[in-house]
A and B are shown apart, each in its own frame.
Chain A
Amino acid sequence: MSASPLVQVSDLVVNFHTRRERRRGSAPNAVDGVSFGLSADETLAIVGESGSGKTTVARCVVGLQAHQEGTVMFDGAPVGPVTRRSPATRRAIQMVFQDPAASLNPRMTVRSIIAETWRTHPSAAPDGRTWDAAIDELLADVGLDPDVGTRRATALSGGQCQRVSIARALALRPRLLVCDEAVSALDVSVQSQILRLLAGLRAARGLAILFITHDLGVVRQIADRVAVMHRGRLVETATADDLFERPGHAYTRKLLAAALDLEGA
Protein backbone atom coordinates (compact mmCIF):
# COMPACT_ATOMS: atom_id res chain seq x y z
CA MET A 1 0.00 0.00 0.00
CA SER A 2 1.42 3.38 -1.00
CA ALA A 3 1.73 6.18 1.57
CA SER A 4 -0.51 8.83 -0.03
CA PRO A 5 -3.99 7.62 -0.86
CA LEU A 6 -5.28 7.65 -4.44
CA VAL A 7 -8.66 8.84 -3.21
CA GLN A 8 -9.15 10.91 -0.09
CA VAL A 9 -12.68 11.79 1.00
CA SER A 10 -12.82 14.32 3.84
CA ASP A 11 -15.81 15.44 5.90
CA LEU A 12 -18.27 14.73 3.11
CA VAL A 13 -21.79 16.05 3.72
CA VAL A 14 -24.69 15.46 1.34
CA ASN A 15 -28.33 16.23 1.93
CA PHE A 16 -31.47 16.21 -0.15
CA HIS A 17 -33.37 18.67 2.01
CA THR A 18 -36.36 20.55 0.73
CA ARG A 19 -36.41 24.33 1.27
CA ARG A 20 -38.70 23.90 4.28
CA GLU A 21 -36.44 21.23 5.81
CA ARG A 22 -33.44 23.49 5.28
CA ARG A 23 -35.21 26.35 7.11
CA ARG A 24 -36.19 24.10 10.00
CA GLY A 25 -32.78 22.44 10.05
CA SER A 26 -34.29 19.28 11.46
CA ALA A 27 -33.87 16.67 8.68
CA PRO A 28 -30.77 14.46 8.85
CA ASN A 29 -28.06 14.50 6.18
CA ALA A 30 -27.91 11.59 3.75
CA VAL A 31 -24.12 11.60 4.23
CA ASP A 32 -22.82 13.25 7.36
CA GLY A 33 -19.12 13.98 7.72
CA VAL A 34 -17.76 10.89 6.00
CA SER A 35 -13.96 10.62 5.63
CA PHE A 36 -11.85 7.79 4.29
CA GLY A 37 -8.84 7.14 2.08
CA LEU A 38 -8.28 4.53 -0.59
CA SER A 39 -4.84 3.57 -1.84
CA ALA A 40 -3.91 2.34 -5.29
CA ASP A 41 -4.12 -1.51 -5.50
CA GLU A 42 -6.52 -1.53 -2.54
CA THR A 43 -10.13 -2.67 -2.35
CA LEU A 44 -12.24 -0.79 0.14
CA ALA A 45 -15.78 -2.02 0.74
CA ILE A 46 -18.41 0.31 2.13
CA VAL A 47 -21.15 -1.66 3.82
CA GLY A 48 -24.36 -0.70 5.53
CA GLU A 49 -28.09 -1.18 5.38
CA SER A 50 -30.30 0.33 2.68
CA GLY A 51 -30.50 4.10 3.05
CA SER A 52 -27.27 4.37 5.02
CA GLY A 53 -25.74 6.65 2.34
CA LYS A 54 -23.15 4.32 0.81
CA THR A 55 -24.35 4.75 -2.78
CA THR A 56 -24.46 8.53 -2.30
CA VAL A 57 -20.81 8.44 -1.21
CA ALA A 58 -19.94 6.39 -4.30
CA ARG A 59 -21.78 8.84 -6.57
CA CYS A 60 -19.90 11.74 -4.98
CA VAL A 61 -16.59 10.02 -5.65
CA VAL A 62 -17.42 9.50 -9.34
CA GLY A 63 -18.88 13.02 -9.57
CA LEU A 64 -22.49 12.15 -10.37
CA GLN A 65 -23.71 13.62 -7.07
CA ALA A 66 -22.96 17.09 -5.77
CA HIS A 67 -21.96 17.41 -2.13
CA GLN A 68 -22.69 20.35 0.18
CA GLU A 69 -19.56 20.14 2.32
CA GLY A 70 -16.24 18.35 2.36
CA THR A 71 -13.79 17.41 -0.36
CA VAL A 72 -13.10 14.52 -2.66
CA MET A 73 -9.43 14.39 -3.65
CA PHE A 74 -8.13 12.17 -6.44
CA ASP A 75 -4.42 11.76 -6.84
CA GLY A 76 -3.83 14.75 -4.54
CA ALA A 77 -6.15 17.19 -6.34
CA PRO A 78 -9.74 18.08 -5.45
CA VAL A 79 -12.32 16.86 -7.96
CA GLY A 80 -15.83 18.28 -8.45
CA PRO A 81 -18.82 17.15 -10.48
CA VAL A 82 -18.04 14.91 -13.44
CA THR A 83 -18.85 17.66 -15.95
CA ARG A 84 -16.08 19.84 -14.52
CA ARG A 85 -13.41 17.17 -14.31
CA SER A 86 -10.49 16.99 -16.68
CA PRO A 87 -10.65 14.28 -19.35
CA ALA A 88 -7.76 12.50 -17.61
CA THR A 89 -9.65 12.37 -14.30
CA ARG A 90 -12.84 11.22 -16.04
CA ARG A 91 -10.88 8.40 -17.66
CA ALA A 92 -9.26 7.44 -14.37
CA ILE A 93 -12.47 6.98 -12.37
CA GLN A 94 -15.04 4.54 -13.73
CA MET A 95 -18.10 2.89 -12.27
CA VAL A 96 -19.97 -0.40 -12.52
CA PHE A 97 -23.66 0.03 -11.76
CA GLN A 98 -26.10 -2.07 -9.76
CA ASP A 99 -28.57 -2.95 -12.52
CA PRO A 100 -26.52 -4.68 -15.23
CA ALA A 101 -29.12 -4.41 -18.00
CA ALA A 102 -30.10 -0.82 -17.24
CA SER A 103 -26.50 0.37 -17.39
CA LEU A 104 -26.24 -0.45 -21.10
CA ASN A 105 -28.13 1.49 -23.77
CA PRO A 106 -30.59 -1.11 -25.14
CA ARG A 107 -30.42 0.40 -28.65
CA MET A 108 -26.64 0.02 -28.93
CA THR A 109 -24.56 -3.05 -29.63
CA VAL A 110 -21.84 -4.06 -27.19
CA ARG A 111 -19.20 -3.00 -29.74
CA SER A 112 -20.65 0.49 -30.10
CA ILE A 113 -20.99 0.81 -26.30
CA ILE A 114 -17.29 0.09 -25.85
CA ALA A 115 -16.27 2.11 -28.91
CA GLU A 116 -18.09 5.13 -27.45
CA THR A 117 -15.49 5.31 -24.68
CA TRP A 118 -12.68 5.55 -27.24
CA ARG A 119 -14.52 8.05 -29.41
CA THR A 120 -14.85 10.23 -26.29
CA HIS A 121 -11.24 9.65 -25.17
CA PRO A 122 -9.13 9.08 -28.27
CA SER A 123 -6.04 8.97 -26.04
CA ALA A 124 -7.36 5.72 -24.55
CA ALA A 125 -8.04 4.15 -27.96
CA PRO A 126 -5.87 1.14 -28.83
CA ASP A 127 -2.67 1.79 -30.76
CA GLY A 128 -1.55 -0.41 -33.62
CA ARG A 129 -4.65 -2.60 -33.56
CA THR A 130 -8.08 -2.24 -35.07
CA TRP A 131 -10.82 -1.29 -32.63
CA ASP A 132 -12.62 -4.54 -33.43
CA ALA A 133 -9.57 -6.58 -32.40
CA ALA A 134 -9.14 -4.51 -29.24
CA ILE A 135 -12.81 -4.94 -28.34
CA ASP A 136 -12.52 -8.72 -28.87
CA GLU A 137 -9.50 -8.74 -26.54
CA LEU A 138 -11.33 -6.68 -23.95
CA LEU A 139 -14.34 -8.98 -24.10
CA ALA A 140 -12.02 -11.96 -23.67
CA ASP A 141 -10.49 -10.27 -20.60
CA VAL A 142 -13.91 -10.20 -18.97
CA GLY A 143 -14.73 -13.74 -20.07
CA LEU A 144 -17.00 -13.03 -23.02
CA ASP A 145 -16.95 -14.46 -26.55
CA PRO A 146 -16.29 -12.03 -29.42
CA ASP A 147 -19.74 -12.73 -30.88
CA VAL A 148 -21.28 -10.93 -27.87
CA GLY A 149 -19.97 -7.74 -29.47
CA THR A 150 -22.67 -7.69 -32.11
CA ARG A 151 -25.50 -8.15 -29.62
CA ARG A 152 -27.54 -5.59 -27.75
CA ALA A 153 -28.02 -5.58 -23.97
CA THR A 154 -31.55 -6.94 -24.37
CA ALA A 155 -30.07 -10.14 -25.83
CA LEU A 156 -27.64 -10.70 -22.92
CA SER A 157 -28.02 -12.27 -19.48
CA GLY A 158 -27.51 -10.24 -16.29
CA GLY A 159 -24.02 -11.67 -15.80
CA GLN A 160 -23.04 -10.94 -19.41
CA CYS A 161 -24.36 -7.38 -19.10
CA GLN A 162 -22.28 -6.83 -15.97
CA ARG A 163 -19.18 -8.17 -17.73
CA VAL A 164 -19.83 -5.76 -20.62
CA SER A 165 -20.23 -2.98 -18.07
CA ILE A 166 -16.85 -3.91 -16.57
CA ALA A 167 -15.31 -4.09 -20.06
CA ARG A 168 -16.63 -0.59 -20.83
CA ALA A 169 -15.04 0.71 -17.64
CA LEU A 170 -11.75 -1.08 -18.34
CA ALA A 171 -11.62 0.24 -21.92
CA LEU A 172 -10.50 3.58 -20.49
CA ARG A 173 -7.76 1.94 -18.39
CA PRO A 174 -9.07 3.49 -15.14
CA ARG A 175 -7.13 3.69 -11.89
CA LEU A 176 -10.20 3.56 -9.68
CA LEU A 177 -13.23 1.35 -10.25
CA VAL A 178 -16.30 2.14 -8.19
CA CYS A 179 -18.66 -0.86 -8.01
CA ASP A 180 -22.07 0.14 -6.70
CA GLU A 181 -23.84 -3.04 -5.61
CA ALA A 182 -22.32 -4.54 -8.74
CA VAL A 183 -23.23 -8.12 -7.90
CA SER A 184 -26.45 -7.61 -5.92
CA ALA A 185 -28.73 -8.18 -8.89
CA LEU A 186 -26.96 -11.39 -9.95
CA ASP A 187 -27.51 -14.95 -8.81
CA VAL A 188 -24.97 -16.49 -6.45
CA SER A 189 -22.93 -18.45 -9.02
CA VAL A 190 -22.65 -15.44 -11.32
CA GLN A 191 -21.81 -13.26 -8.29
CA SER A 192 -18.75 -15.34 -7.49
CA GLN A 193 -17.66 -15.34 -11.15
CA ILE A 194 -17.85 -11.54 -11.27
CA LEU A 195 -16.03 -11.22 -7.92
CA ARG A 196 -13.24 -13.52 -9.16
CA LEU A 197 -13.07 -11.48 -12.35
CA LEU A 198 -12.76 -8.22 -10.39
CA ALA A 199 -10.10 -9.67 -8.11
CA GLY A 200 -8.14 -10.92 -11.13
CA LEU A 201 -8.43 -7.58 -12.94
CA ARG A 202 -7.36 -5.71 -9.86
CA ALA A 203 -4.23 -7.82 -9.59
CA ALA A 204 -3.47 -7.66 -13.31
CA ARG A 205 -4.15 -3.95 -13.82
CA GLY A 206 -3.32 -2.50 -10.41
CA LEU A 207 -6.82 -1.11 -9.91
CA ALA A 208 -8.13 0.50 -6.76
CA ILE A 209 -11.70 -0.65 -6.13
CA LEU A 210 -14.35 1.06 -4.05
CA PHE A 211 -16.93 -1.65 -3.53
CA ILE A 212 -20.38 -0.66 -2.30
CA THR A 213 -22.46 -3.52 -0.96
CA HIS A 214 -24.81 -4.60 1.77
CA ASP A 215 -23.70 -8.23 1.46
CA LEU A 216 -21.08 -9.13 4.06
CA GLY A 217 -20.33 -12.42 2.32
CA VAL A 218 -19.24 -10.50 -0.76
CA VAL A 219 -17.15 -8.16 1.39
CA ARG A 220 -15.24 -11.10 2.85
CA GLN A 221 -14.36 -12.34 -0.63
CA ILE A 222 -13.09 -9.13 -2.14
CA ALA A 223 -12.24 -6.39 0.37
CA ASP A 224 -8.91 -5.47 1.97
CA ARG A 225 -10.56 -2.93 4.22
CA VAL A 226 -14.16 -2.33 5.18
CA ALA A 227 -15.93 0.89 6.11
CA VAL A 228 -19.27 0.51 7.88
CA MET A 229 -21.91 3.20 7.33
CA HIS A 230 -24.96 3.79 9.48
CA ARG A 231 -27.44 6.63 8.99
CA GLY A 232 -25.06 8.66 6.87
CA ARG A 233 -22.06 8.31 9.17
CA LEU A 234 -19.01 6.13 8.95
CA VAL A 235 -19.06 4.23 12.22
CA GLU A 236 -16.08 1.96 11.76
CA THR A 237 -13.22 1.33 9.35
CA ALA A 238 -11.05 -1.75 9.72
CA THR A 239 -9.27 -4.41 7.73
CA ALA A 240 -11.64 -7.12 6.56
CA ASP A 241 -10.12 -9.71 8.92
CA ASP A 242 -10.29 -7.38 11.92
CA LEU A 243 -13.85 -6.37 11.19
CA PHE A 244 -15.11 -9.92 10.99
CA GLU A 245 -13.00 -11.17 13.94
CA ARG A 246 -13.17 -8.15 16.25
CA PRO A 247 -15.97 -5.74 15.31
CA GLY A 248 -15.47 -2.54 17.29
CA HIS A 249 -18.77 -0.71 16.93
CA ALA A 250 -22.10 -1.89 18.28
CA TYR A 251 -23.78 -1.37 14.88
CA THR A 252 -21.12 -3.50 13.15
CA ARG A 253 -21.72 -6.27 15.66
CA LYS A 254 -25.45 -6.03 14.99
CA LEU A 255 -24.86 -6.14 11.23
CA LEU A 256 -22.62 -9.20 11.55
CA ALA A 257 -25.06 -10.89 13.89
CA ALA A 258 -27.90 -10.27 11.41
CA ALA A 259 -25.80 -11.79 8.61
CA LEU A 260 -24.97 -14.82 10.78
CA ASP A 261 -28.64 -15.22 11.67
CA LEU A 262 -29.50 -15.34 8.00
CA GLU A 263 -26.75 -17.90 7.29
CA GLY A 264 -27.96 -20.05 10.19
CA ALA A 265 -31.63 -19.81 9.28
Chain B
Amino acid sequence: MSAITARPRLWPVRLRSTPTVAAVATVVLAVYLVVGLIGPLLIAYDPVATSVADRLLPIGAVRSDGTVALLGTDGAGRDMLGQLVYGARTSIIIGISVVAACLAVGLAFGTLAGYLAGWTDVAISRLIDILMAFPGILLAIVIAGLFDRSMLVVVLALSVAGWVGFARLARGLTLSLRERPYVDAARLIGVPTPVVIVRHVVPFVIGPVTALATTEFAGAVLSEAGLSFLGLGLPSATVSWGQVIANGKDYLDTAWWISALPGLALTGLVVSTGLLGDHLTQRLGTSR
Protein backbone atom coordinates (compact mmCIF):
# COMPACT_ATOMS: atom_id res chain seq x y z
CA MET B 1 0.00 0.00 0.00
CA SER B 2 1.47 3.33 -0.93
CA ALA B 3 1.75 5.95 1.77
CA ILE B 4 -0.08 9.22 1.32
CA THR B 5 2.20 12.11 2.13
CA ALA B 6 0.78 15.43 3.27
CA ARG B 7 1.75 18.65 1.54
CA PRO B 8 4.42 20.40 3.59
CA ARG B 9 2.90 23.26 5.55
CA LEU B 10 4.31 26.75 5.70
CA TRP B 11 2.79 27.44 9.10
CA PRO B 12 2.54 25.24 12.18
CA VAL B 13 -0.73 23.28 12.04
CA ARG B 14 -2.25 24.83 15.15
CA LEU B 15 -1.51 28.35 13.96
CA ARG B 16 -3.13 27.66 10.58
CA SER B 17 -6.29 25.99 11.63
CA THR B 18 -7.35 27.67 14.86
CA PRO B 19 -10.45 29.82 14.52
CA THR B 20 -9.03 32.09 17.24
CA VAL B 21 -5.99 32.81 15.05
CA ALA B 22 -8.32 33.60 12.15
CA ALA B 23 -10.36 35.90 14.40
CA VAL B 24 -7.21 37.73 15.53
CA ALA B 25 -6.08 38.02 11.89
CA THR B 26 -9.49 39.45 10.96
CA VAL B 27 -9.27 42.05 13.74
CA VAL B 28 -5.74 43.03 12.64
CA LEU B 29 -6.93 43.36 9.05
CA ALA B 30 -9.89 45.46 10.20
CA VAL B 31 -7.45 47.78 11.99
CA TYR B 32 -5.39 48.12 8.78
CA LEU B 33 -8.57 48.81 6.84
CA VAL B 34 -9.74 51.50 9.28
CA VAL B 35 -6.26 53.09 9.37
CA GLY B 36 -6.01 52.99 5.58
CA LEU B 37 -9.46 54.39 4.92
CA ILE B 38 -10.03 56.83 7.78
CA GLY B 39 -6.42 57.65 8.82
CA PRO B 40 -5.66 59.92 5.83
CA LEU B 41 -8.74 62.00 6.74
CA LEU B 42 -7.38 62.61 10.24
CA ILE B 43 -3.68 63.05 9.55
CA ALA B 44 -2.44 65.83 7.26
CA TYR B 45 0.62 64.66 5.37
CA ASP B 46 2.33 65.97 2.27
CA PRO B 47 4.61 63.30 0.76
CA VAL B 48 6.64 65.84 -1.26
CA ALA B 49 7.14 68.44 1.49
CA THR B 50 10.54 68.16 3.23
CA SER B 51 12.02 69.76 6.34
CA VAL B 52 15.79 69.73 6.69
CA ALA B 53 15.59 70.81 10.35
CA ASP B 54 13.51 67.72 11.23
CA ARG B 55 15.66 65.06 9.48
CA LEU B 56 16.09 61.65 11.13
CA LEU B 57 14.21 62.46 14.31
CA PRO B 58 13.79 59.38 16.51
CA ILE B 59 10.46 58.04 17.79
CA GLY B 60 8.72 60.55 20.09
CA ALA B 61 11.10 63.45 19.32
CA VAL B 62 9.85 67.05 19.14
CA ARG B 63 9.92 68.73 15.72
CA SER B 64 11.10 72.28 15.01
CA ASP B 65 7.47 73.48 14.99
CA GLY B 66 6.91 72.05 18.49
CA THR B 67 4.79 69.04 17.49
CA VAL B 68 5.75 65.50 18.43
CA ALA B 69 6.92 63.07 15.75
CA LEU B 70 5.25 59.99 17.29
CA LEU B 71 7.08 57.52 15.03
CA GLY B 72 10.02 59.74 14.12
CA THR B 73 10.93 61.23 10.73
CA ASP B 74 12.87 60.05 7.69
CA GLY B 75 15.98 61.37 5.92
CA ALA B 76 13.97 64.21 4.34
CA GLY B 77 12.22 65.18 7.57
CA ARG B 78 8.89 63.60 6.58
CA ASP B 79 6.64 62.22 9.31
CA MET B 80 6.84 58.43 9.62
CA LEU B 81 3.32 58.08 11.09
CA GLY B 82 1.91 59.91 8.06
CA GLN B 83 3.88 57.67 5.72
CA LEU B 84 2.63 54.53 7.47
CA VAL B 85 -1.01 55.66 7.38
CA TYR B 86 -0.92 56.84 3.76
CA GLY B 87 1.10 53.73 2.82
CA ALA B 88 -1.64 51.55 4.34
CA ARG B 89 -4.20 53.25 2.12
CA THR B 90 -2.00 52.72 -0.94
CA SER B 91 -1.44 49.05 -0.11
CA ILE B 92 -5.15 48.42 0.45
CA ILE B 93 -6.16 50.21 -2.76
CA ILE B 94 -3.53 48.36 -4.82
CA GLY B 95 -4.30 45.01 -3.17
CA ILE B 96 -8.06 45.31 -3.69
CA SER B 97 -7.72 46.62 -7.26
CA VAL B 98 -5.30 43.88 -8.30
CA VAL B 99 -7.36 41.14 -6.67
CA ALA B 100 -10.61 42.48 -8.16
CA ALA B 101 -9.11 42.64 -11.65
CA CYS B 102 -7.48 39.20 -11.36
CA LEU B 103 -10.61 37.66 -9.86
CA ALA B 104 -12.85 39.01 -12.60
CA VAL B 105 -10.54 37.96 -15.45
CA GLY B 106 -9.54 34.64 -13.84
CA LEU B 107 -13.13 33.70 -13.00
CA ALA B 108 -14.33 34.54 -16.51
CA PHE B 109 -11.50 32.70 -18.31
CA GLY B 110 -11.48 29.76 -15.87
CA THR B 111 -15.21 29.09 -15.98
CA LEU B 112 -15.32 29.51 -19.76
CA ALA B 113 -12.40 27.09 -20.24
CA GLY B 114 -13.88 24.55 -17.84
CA TYR B 115 -17.43 24.78 -19.11
CA LEU B 116 -16.92 25.06 -22.85
CA ALA B 117 -13.93 22.64 -22.92
CA GLY B 118 -12.62 21.82 -26.42
CA TRP B 119 -10.62 24.49 -28.24
CA THR B 120 -11.59 27.24 -25.81
CA ASP B 121 -10.09 25.21 -22.98
CA VAL B 122 -6.97 24.39 -25.01
CA ALA B 123 -6.41 28.07 -25.90
CA ILE B 124 -6.96 29.38 -22.37
CA SER B 125 -4.94 26.58 -20.77
CA ARG B 126 -1.98 27.22 -23.08
CA LEU B 127 -2.16 30.95 -22.29
CA ILE B 128 -2.10 30.05 -18.59
CA ASP B 129 0.89 27.73 -19.15
CA ILE B 130 2.78 30.48 -20.98
CA LEU B 131 2.11 33.04 -18.26
CA MET B 132 3.08 30.55 -15.57
CA ALA B 133 6.41 29.96 -17.28
CA PHE B 134 7.39 33.56 -16.42
CA PRO B 135 8.09 34.54 -12.81
CA GLY B 136 5.16 36.90 -12.04
CA ILE B 137 7.30 39.59 -10.42
CA LEU B 138 9.70 39.61 -13.38
CA LEU B 139 6.83 40.14 -15.78
CA ALA B 140 5.51 42.91 -13.54
CA ILE B 141 8.97 44.58 -13.47
CA VAL B 142 9.14 44.50 -17.27
CA ILE B 143 5.64 45.97 -17.70
CA ALA B 144 6.13 48.60 -14.97
CA GLY B 145 9.45 49.57 -16.54
CA LEU B 146 7.86 50.16 -19.95
CA PHE B 147 5.45 52.88 -18.81
CA ASP B 148 5.48 56.02 -16.69
CA ARG B 149 5.01 55.31 -13.02
CA SER B 150 1.37 55.38 -11.92
CA MET B 151 -1.06 53.42 -9.81
CA LEU B 152 -2.86 52.12 -12.91
CA VAL B 153 0.39 50.79 -14.37
CA VAL B 154 1.21 49.00 -11.10
CA VAL B 155 -2.27 47.44 -10.98
CA LEU B 156 -1.98 46.35 -14.62
CA ALA B 157 1.56 45.01 -14.17
CA LEU B 158 0.53 42.91 -11.18
CA SER B 159 -2.70 41.74 -12.80
CA VAL B 160 -1.20 40.53 -16.08
CA ALA B 161 -0.03 37.28 -14.53
CA GLY B 162 -2.05 37.46 -11.30
CA TRP B 163 -5.31 36.17 -12.81
CA VAL B 164 -3.73 32.82 -13.70
CA GLY B 165 -4.19 31.33 -10.21
CA PHE B 166 -7.88 32.27 -10.18
CA ALA B 167 -8.36 30.90 -13.69
CA ARG B 168 -6.72 27.55 -12.84
CA LEU B 169 -8.83 27.16 -9.70
CA ALA B 170 -12.06 28.21 -11.45
CA ARG B 171 -11.33 25.92 -14.42
CA GLY B 172 -10.68 22.91 -12.21
CA LEU B 173 -13.86 23.44 -10.21
CA THR B 174 -15.92 24.08 -13.35
CA LEU B 175 -14.66 20.90 -15.02
CA SER B 176 -16.16 18.98 -12.12
CA LEU B 177 -19.32 21.11 -11.84
CA ARG B 178 -20.23 20.84 -15.53
CA GLU B 179 -20.74 17.10 -15.05
CA ARG B 180 -23.28 17.61 -12.25
CA PRO B 181 -26.78 16.44 -13.14
CA TYR B 182 -28.32 19.83 -12.30
CA VAL B 183 -26.06 21.44 -14.91
CA ASP B 184 -27.10 18.72 -17.38
CA ALA B 185 -30.71 19.44 -16.48
CA ALA B 186 -30.25 23.15 -17.19
CA ARG B 187 -28.59 22.39 -20.55
CA LEU B 188 -31.38 19.99 -21.38
CA ILE B 189 -34.02 22.61 -20.68
CA GLY B 190 -32.14 24.93 -23.02
CA VAL B 191 -30.94 27.50 -20.49
CA PRO B 192 -28.46 29.70 -22.44
CA THR B 193 -24.79 28.93 -21.73
CA PRO B 194 -23.97 32.30 -20.06
CA VAL B 195 -26.96 31.84 -17.75
CA VAL B 196 -25.92 28.24 -16.93
CA ILE B 197 -22.44 29.50 -16.04
CA VAL B 198 -23.69 32.41 -13.94
CA ARG B 199 -26.55 30.58 -12.20
CA HIS B 200 -25.34 27.00 -11.90
CA VAL B 201 -21.54 27.17 -11.92
CA VAL B 202 -20.24 30.49 -10.57
CA PRO B 203 -22.08 30.30 -7.19
CA PHE B 204 -20.17 27.10 -6.43
CA VAL B 205 -16.83 28.47 -7.62
CA ILE B 206 -16.99 31.80 -5.87
CA GLY B 207 -16.31 30.45 -2.34
CA PRO B 208 -12.95 28.80 -3.03
CA VAL B 209 -12.02 31.68 -5.34
CA THR B 210 -12.72 34.18 -2.55
CA ALA B 211 -10.48 32.18 -0.23
CA LEU B 212 -7.75 32.38 -2.85
CA ALA B 213 -8.38 36.12 -3.22
CA THR B 214 -7.26 36.74 0.37
CA THR B 215 -3.93 35.00 -0.26
CA GLU B 216 -3.51 36.78 -3.58
CA PHE B 217 -4.23 40.10 -1.83
CA ALA B 218 -1.16 39.52 0.35
CA GLY B 219 0.88 38.67 -2.74
CA ALA B 220 -0.27 41.84 -4.53
CA VAL B 221 0.62 44.06 -1.55
CA LEU B 222 4.08 42.45 -1.31
CA SER B 223 4.69 42.74 -5.05
CA GLU B 224 3.69 46.42 -5.09
CA ALA B 225 6.09 47.06 -2.21
CA GLY B 226 8.76 45.17 -4.15
CA LEU B 227 8.19 47.26 -7.30
CA SER B 228 8.23 50.50 -5.33
CA PHE B 229 11.38 49.38 -3.48
CA LEU B 230 13.04 48.96 -6.88
CA GLY B 231 11.80 52.38 -7.98
CA LEU B 232 9.44 50.91 -10.57
CA GLY B 233 6.21 51.24 -8.65
CA LEU B 234 4.26 54.33 -7.70
CA PRO B 235 5.27 57.95 -8.39
CA SER B 236 7.00 59.71 -5.50
CA ALA B 237 3.88 61.78 -4.80
CA THR B 238 2.12 58.57 -3.67
CA VAL B 239 3.34 56.96 -0.47
CA SER B 240 4.27 53.30 -0.68
CA TRP B 241 5.74 51.20 2.10
CA GLY B 242 8.21 49.70 -0.38
CA GLN B 243 9.44 53.17 -1.26
CA VAL B 244 9.73 54.15 2.42
CA ILE B 245 11.74 50.99 3.15
CA ALA B 246 14.02 51.84 0.22
CA ASN B 247 14.42 55.43 1.52
CA GLY B 248 15.57 54.11 4.89
CA LYS B 249 18.06 51.50 3.70
CA ASP B 250 20.97 53.98 3.87
CA TYR B 251 20.18 54.80 7.51
CA LEU B 252 19.70 51.28 8.88
CA ASP B 253 22.45 51.66 11.50
CA THR B 254 21.51 55.19 12.61
CA ALA B 255 17.77 55.56 11.96
CA TRP B 256 16.41 51.99 11.90
CA TRP B 257 12.78 53.07 12.26
CA ILE B 258 12.58 54.40 8.71
CA SER B 259 12.82 50.92 7.18
CA ALA B 260 11.75 48.84 10.17
CA LEU B 261 8.33 50.43 10.80
CA PRO B 262 6.94 50.07 7.24
CA GLY B 263 8.58 46.62 7.13
CA LEU B 264 6.70 45.61 10.27
CA ALA B 265 3.46 47.11 8.94
CA LEU B 266 3.89 45.17 5.70
CA THR B 267 4.64 41.94 7.57
CA GLY B 268 1.60 42.37 9.80
CA LEU B 269 -0.70 42.91 6.81
CA VAL B 270 0.71 40.02 4.78
CA VAL B 271 0.79 37.52 7.67
CA SER B 272 -2.76 38.41 8.80
CA THR B 273 -4.10 38.12 5.27
CA GLY B 274 -2.28 34.80 4.79
CA LEU B 275 -3.70 33.38 8.01
CA LEU B 276 -7.22 34.48 7.15
CA GLY B 277 -6.79 33.08 3.63
CA ASP B 278 -5.65 29.73 5.02
CA HIS B 279 -8.63 29.62 7.34
CA LEU B 280 -11.06 30.48 4.55
CA THR B 281 -9.46 27.87 2.28
CA GLN B 282 -9.95 25.23 4.95
CA ARG B 283 -13.53 26.27 5.65
CA LEU B 284 -14.55 26.50 2.02
CA GLY B 285 -13.22 23.03 1.39
CA THR B 286 -10.60 23.42 -1.27
CA SER B 287 -7.07 24.58 -1.79
CA ARG B 288 -4.93 25.45 -4.74
Contacts and interface: CB of A to CB of B under 8 A. Distances in A.
Interface stretch (A29-37, A96-104, A130-138): A96-104
A109 interface: no
A116 B192 CA distance: 11
A116 B189 contact: yes
Interface in B161-216: 180-182, 184-193, 199-200, 203-204
Interface in A97-124: 97-99, 102-108, 116-117, 120-121
Contacts of B181: 97-99, 102-103
Interface stretch (A2-10, A87-95, A196-204): A87-95
B282 to A, nearest CB: 21
A120 B191 contact: yes
Contacts of B193: 83
Contact of B188 (A82, A98, A106): A82
B263 to A, nearest CB: 44
B182 to A, nearest CB: 5
Nearest to B183: A105
Interface residues of B, number: 17
Given A116-B191, A121-B190, A95 B203 contact: no
A63 interface: yes
Nearest to A118: B189
A91 B190 CA distance: 8
B62 to A, nearest CB: 60
Contacts of A106: 182
5 closest cross-chain pairs (CB), A and B: A103-B181, A90-B190, A97-B181, A105-B182, A102-B181
Given A99-B181, A102-B182, A117 B189 contact: yes
Contacts of B191: 116, 120
Contact of A83 (B187, B199, B200, B203): B187
Contact of B182 (A64, A104, A172): A104
B181 to A, nearest CB: 4
Contacts of A46: none
Contacts of B184: 64, 95, 97, 103
Interface of B: 180-182, 184-193, 199-200, 203-204
Contacts of B189: 90, 94, 116-117, 120-121, 168, 172
23 contacts: A63-B188, A64-B184, A64-B187, A82-B187, A90-B190, A91-B190, A95-B184, A95-B188, A98-B181, A102-B182, A103-B182, A104-B182, A105-B182, A105-B199, A107-B204, A116-B186, A116-B189, A120-B190, A121-B189, A121-B190, A168-B185, A168-B189, A172-B189
Interface residues of A, number: 29
A120 B199 CA distance: 13
Secondary structure of the B contact surface, majority rule: helix
Contacts of A107: 203-204
Contacts of A82: 187-188, 190
A98 B180 CA distance: 11
Interface string A71-87: 00000000000110101
Contacts of A64: 184, 187-188
Residue of A87, A99, A103 ringed by the most chain B CB atoms within 10 A: A103
A49 to B, nearest CB: 22
Contacts of B203: 107
Contacts of B187: 64, 82-83
A85 B203 CA distance: 27
A227 interface: no
Contacts of A104: 182, 185
B188 A105 contact: no
Nearest to B200: A105
A110 to B, nearest CB: 12
B155 to A, nearest CB: 32
A36 to B, nearest CB: 21
Contacts of A87: 190
Nearest to B182: A105
Interface in A163-210: 165, 168, 172
